[in-house]
């Protein structure tokens, strides 16, 4: 099947508003880095299973992304289909102390909705730039809170195309990991259980965390957040700083001076430069501390 026929069939599923050809992935990652997606789709939630079934039945590569907040996309772009859980799959509904959110909803929007409803438990998520789907897959967390603390269930699309409801226990959430990741399953939506709280206190806590982020994180530059996972018993940023790598650069990719756990794009960084810098950091930290850093950033696409 040629590309034009594939595009025609996918357009029937998602509509003309839901498809773009050769879409620069730099527009869809917080790193602001990445070559073009051959076929970029932003379906409604009800269309996701049909898209995935079509790609599987026709042996078309399909890469699924959320808000692109933990991605490094290669400079050569992504072949096949990129399915983005975005604005067309981002509904959030509050019902008492329960919140139901589609996978494309931003965590920050979820935290804001909870605050408006006087619900506590999601304050930690207010400054996390990811989407609900990605956050569940990675069990995102910050400042002592994580998704595992508040999620009750998720509607999941399995690798073989079945739609199932998985409880929190089924999801097997752990530090930056889950059963979803291991079984290549997608989150379609998620349900959360919160508690009633004082709205002014909730807003105050969110504002306090926002100030902490601004003071400690290099938010003035594009990045993918924490670049490396936290090694057990250590902090990645301190290991990198102790290795003498604060401010280390490869082209426009740099170990942030404000927080060494972040790699930032100082302007025109390429994916190849970021990957090289990460390799250099990993080698140097291993030499100086004996600790092997593991990337928290997910690398996808064609690296040149």
- What are the tens digits of pLDDT across the range 65-79? 999 999 999 999 999
Per-residue confidence at 214, pLDDT binned at 50, 70, 90? confident
| Among candidate residues 244, 274, 251, the one with its CA nearest the CA of residue 262 | 274
Rounded CA-CA distance 37/76 in Å is 9
User: Does one domain contain both 117 and 188?
Assistant: yes
How far CA 41 is from CA of 49, 92, 202, 242, 284, in Å, comes to 13, 21, 36, 43, 40
Q: What is the CATH number of the domain that holds 69?
A: 3.30.43.10
pLDDT digit string, tens, across residues 42-94: 999 999 999 999 999 999 999 999 999 999 999 999 999 999 999 999 999 99
Q: How many helices (H) and strands (E) does the chain have?
A: 9, 19
**Which of 146, 166, 201 marks a domain boundary?**
201
For residue 119, give the 3-state DSSP assignment. strand
Q: Is residue 53 part of a domain?
A: yes
pTM over 0.85: yes
Among 88, 176, 205, 275, the one annotated catalytic: 176
User: Does one domain contain both 161 and 145?
Assistant: yes
Task: State yes or no: is 296 an active-site residue.
Answer: yes
Residue 21 belongs to domain spanning: 3-87
| Among candidate residues 119, 134, 91, the one with its CA nearest the CA of residue 225 | 134
Q: Is residue 153 part of a domain?
A: yes
Q: Is residue 122 part of a domain?
A: yes
Average pLDDT value for the chain: 95
CA end-to-end span of the chain: 27
Mean pLDDT for 151-165 is: 97
User: Does one domain contain both 39 and 14?
Assistant: yes
Rounded CA-CA distance 188/44 in Å is 10
pLDDT digit string, tens, across residues 218-253: 999 999 999 999 999 999 999 999 999 999 999 999
Q: Tokens in use for 217?
A: 């994180």
**Which of 201, 229, 256 marks a domain boundary?**
201
Per-residue pLDDT, 59: 95
Q: Is residue 299 part of a domain?
A: no
Q: Cβ distance 113 to 91 under 8 Å? A: no
Domain count, the chain: 3
Among 20, 284, 296, 298, the one annotated catalytic: 296
Higher-confidence residue of 126 and 291: namely 291
């Amino acid at each position: 099947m040629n590309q034009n026929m594939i595009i025609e069939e996918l357009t029937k599923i998602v509509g003309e508003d839901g498809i773009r050809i050769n879409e620069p992935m730099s527009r869809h990652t917080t790193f602001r880095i990445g070559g073009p997606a051959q076929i970029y789709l932003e379906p409604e939630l009800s269309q996701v299973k049909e898209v995935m079934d079509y790609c599987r039945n026709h042996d078309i590569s399909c890469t699924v992304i959320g808000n692109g907040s933990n991605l490094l996309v290669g400079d050569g772009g992504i072949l096949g289909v990129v399915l983005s859980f975005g604005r067309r799959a981002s509904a959030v509904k509050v019902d008492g102390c329960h919140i139901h959110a589609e996978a494309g909803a931003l965590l920050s929007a979820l935290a804001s909705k909870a605050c408006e409803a006087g619900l506590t438990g999601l304050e930690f998520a207010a400054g996390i730039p990811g989407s609900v789907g990605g956050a569940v897959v990675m069990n995102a967390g910050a400042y002592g809170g994580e998704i595992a603390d508040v999620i009750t269930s998720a509607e999941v699309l399995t690798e073989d195309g079945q739609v199932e409801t998985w409880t929190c226990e089924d999801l097997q959430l752990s530090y930056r990991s889950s059963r979803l990741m291991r079984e290549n399953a997608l989150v379609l939506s998620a349900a959360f259980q919160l508690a009633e709280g004082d709205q002014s206190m909730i807003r105050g806590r969110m504002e306090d965390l926002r100030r902490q982020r601004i003071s400690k994180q290099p938010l003035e530059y594009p990045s993918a957040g924490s670049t490396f996972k936290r090694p057990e018993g250590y902090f990645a940023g301190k290991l990198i700083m102790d290795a003498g790598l604060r401010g280390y650069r490869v082209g426009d990719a740099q170990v942030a001076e404000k927080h060494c756990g972040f790699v930032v794009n100082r302007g025109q960084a390429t994916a190849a430069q970021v990957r090289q810098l990460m390799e250099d950091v990993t080698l140097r930290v291993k030499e100086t501390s004996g600790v092997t850093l593991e990337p928290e950033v997910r690398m996808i696409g064609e690296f040149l």
